[in-house]
Each structure stands twice: as structure tokens, then as C-alpha cells.
Amino acid sequence: MTQTTPDAPVRRQRAQVKVRTLRTDRWWLVPLLTFLGLSSFLVYGIWAIIDNSYFVDPYIAPFASPCLATSCPEGARLFGWAPFGDWYALPPGLLILGLPGGFRLTCYYYRKSYYRSFWLSPPACAVQEPHGKYTGERRFPLIIQNIHRYFFYAAIVIGLILAYDAVLALVHKPTGLGTWILVVNAVLINAYTLSCHSCRHITAGRLNHFSRHPLRYRAWTFVSKLNAKHQPLAWASMFSVMGADLYVRLVAKGIIAFPYA
């Protein structure tokens, strides 16, 4: 232990433990599963960007929505709109996935999960990390994580568009399995977005008197309940968006073709 005089500054040192950890449980299981889950999302997302079977009337794959590219087929375009002109013929996912992707990448929960599972920083509580020093998120490049709130505003718009896609499917094909998959996905995506810590702060983060702002207080109470489920919502919405996207593509490719698809 470091000896200090009463006036000397305390030098904070790491505990001098010779082994990596004294834990005897399976602490590595959660980071490993997280690594596999996030990696599968990443690999799927890359494939989805280059895959062209993202629309089969009235379903549009969530990874390609809103479809704003010139290459979008008629019926897939958001409000029939193609704002990027003829010069933009790349896949539509390339144009929009940076927004929901950035939202998840800078999410407080995902940060914890990939810092642990990808960077092992640290991999789990009371397990030594391989890095020699820790500068946190106070400096470049991790200070950029602070733009999360702006991604939140974009995610609200994307969530509304996915809900709009689900309503369109509901109107045109109410008995379709794909319709209900899109509906469940829209609910989970919007629940995850509203459960965001930034959203909770926006509703009433700086208020000193809840009693003077009853509406904001009610919004904050609602968001706080969702916020307590942020981690499960992060996973559920991630798998639902991947599942819904894959389902639409399989129908579009003709791989799933039963009467109520």
C-alpha cells in the first residue's frame, strides 16, 4: 500500500493483484455473448446494405427505410419522393443507416457493452483489463460519443417512418404475417428510442419543480419506466429489426411464399 503523509496528495494506484481476477464464476460468458450478438448485427447490416431485395409490396425492409435513393422502386419511396436525383444510384441503406447505426453506436448501454466485449476495457467487474491507462470519454476520439443526443433526434424520425411503414402494411395487407412482424418491430424500435437516457433528460432533466410542469412530469414518468428497461429493449429491438428486415427480404426473393406471408 502507498504510504502518504497527511498533506501529500493521494496517489491512486491499481490494486497489486498478481492474477488477472479472483472471480471464480463464468464472468466471460456475458462479454462473449455480447460480442457474438453485436458481431452478428454488424455482419447482417453490411449484407443488408448490399442486398437489393428490400421491397415487396406492401412491405419494405427496415434497413432500407426510408427509401430515398433514385434506385428505389416505385411504391417503396417514402411519399413517392426521391430527393437525391439521378446522381444517387447506390443502395438506399447506405444513405440512411448511418443515423440509426450512430444512435446505437453512441447509446449509453451499447457503449458499456462494446467497451467490455470488444475492447475488454474491462471485460467484467473485478477483471483486469489489458490496457495500461484509462482516459475515459473526456478526450478525442471518445468525446465524440457526446453527439448521442443529436442521433436521438434522427432516431425519432426513423422510428416514426418505420411505424408509418407498418401502418401502410396494415392497411394493404392486414392478415399478412409480414405486417405483424413490421408492427412488432415498429413498437420495439420506438420503445427503445423513447427509453433513451437523452430522451429522459430532454423530458424533464433540468426541471427544479415538477409541480409547475405537470405535462413534462408525466412524460418523464413514462420515459423513466421505459428507461429502466433500456438494456432489454436494446437487445429486443436489435433482433426485431434484423428479423423483420430478413423476413421482408426472404419474401421479396421468393424464398418465403406461403399465402399469408
Chain residues binding ligand FES by CB under 6 A are: 107-109, 148, 152, 196-198, 230
- Indicate the residue among 55 and 103 with the shorter CB distance to ligand FES: 103
Q: Determine contact, residues 110/104, Cβ cutoff 8 Å.
A: yes
257 exposed, middle or buried (CB, 10 Å; 0-12, 13-18, 19+)? exposed
Which residue do the cell numbers 433526434 mark? 153
Render 193-250 in DSSP notation, one character per residue: HHT-HHHHHHHHTT-S-GGG-HHHHHHHHHHHHHHTTHHHHHHHHHHHHHHHHHHHHH
- Indicate the residue among 126 and 144 with the shorter CB distance to ligand FES: 144
Task: For residue 27, give the nearest of 122, 119, 131 by alpha carbon.
Answer: 122
Minimum separation from the CB atom of position 230 to ligand FES (A): 6
- Indicate the residue among 116 and 230 with the shorter CB distance to ligand FES: 230
Minimum separation from the CB atom of position 107 to ligand FES (A): 3
Would you say the C-alpha torsion 122, 128, 130, 133 has a positive or negative sign? positive
- Indicate the residue among 55 and 109 with the shorter CB distance to ligand FES: 109
Distance CA 242, CA 192 (A): 15
- Indicate the residue among 159 and 176 with the shorter CB distance to ligand FES: 159
Task: For residue 169, give the nearest of 23, 55, 38 by alpha carbon.
Answer: 55
Minimum separation from the CB atom of position 43 to ligand FES (A): 22
